[in-house]
Amino acid sequence: MKKYLSVKDVIYIQKILIDEFGGIHGIRDLKAIESAVSRPQSGYYKSLIEEAAALMESLAINHCFIDGNKRVSFFSTDVFLRMNGYYISCDPEEANQFYVNNLSSGSFRFEKILRWLKQRIKKIE
């Protein structure tokens, strides 16, 4: 049975990331976090990787937090995958460039994220 992140989990991930890497603590839009966390559980997606792409997209573009939205999106997605036996295998700079380039151009969308994840998801051995 798949395991999913809770709203509380994602808020805690933001706290940890801000404590570790700097920035401003705080929630901008709690309903946006709730929406992002529930999206993978909607029953619409056929696979774990599709659910991960949906989570990644929603957390990045919903601007749920005052600061750290890209970091929260990436790490929450990785935690979600790890809870289910997989992880994202990539260099942190590569992930950062993927986010920055695609968010700035408005092309950080589900299909592109799905293709990117498919090339980088590995099973935990």
Find the CATH number of the domain harbouring 25. 1.20.120.1870
Return the number of other C-beta atoms located less than 10 Å from residue 117's C-beta. Answer: 20
Return the pLDDT at 39: 98
Residue 104 lies in a domain: yes
Rounded Cα gap, residues 25 and 62, in angstroms: 16
Q: pLDDT per residue over 76-115, tens digit each? A: 999 999 999 999 999 989 998 999 998 888 889 999 999 9
Residue 1 lies in a domain: no
Return the number of other C-beta atoms located less than 10 Å from residue 51's C-beta. Answer: 22
Return the pLDDT at 104: 86
Strand bridging mode 86-88 / 121-123? antiparallel
Q: pLDDT per residue over 40-62, tens digit each? A: 999 999 999 999 999 999 999 99
Residue 101 sits in which domain range? 7-123
Handedness of CA 58, 73, 77, 121 (dihedral sign): positive
Residue 100 backbone phi and psi in degrees, to 5: -60, -50
Residue 14 lies in a domain: yes
State which amino acid sits at residue 114.
Answer: L
Return the pLDDT at 83: 98
Say how many domains are in the chain.
1
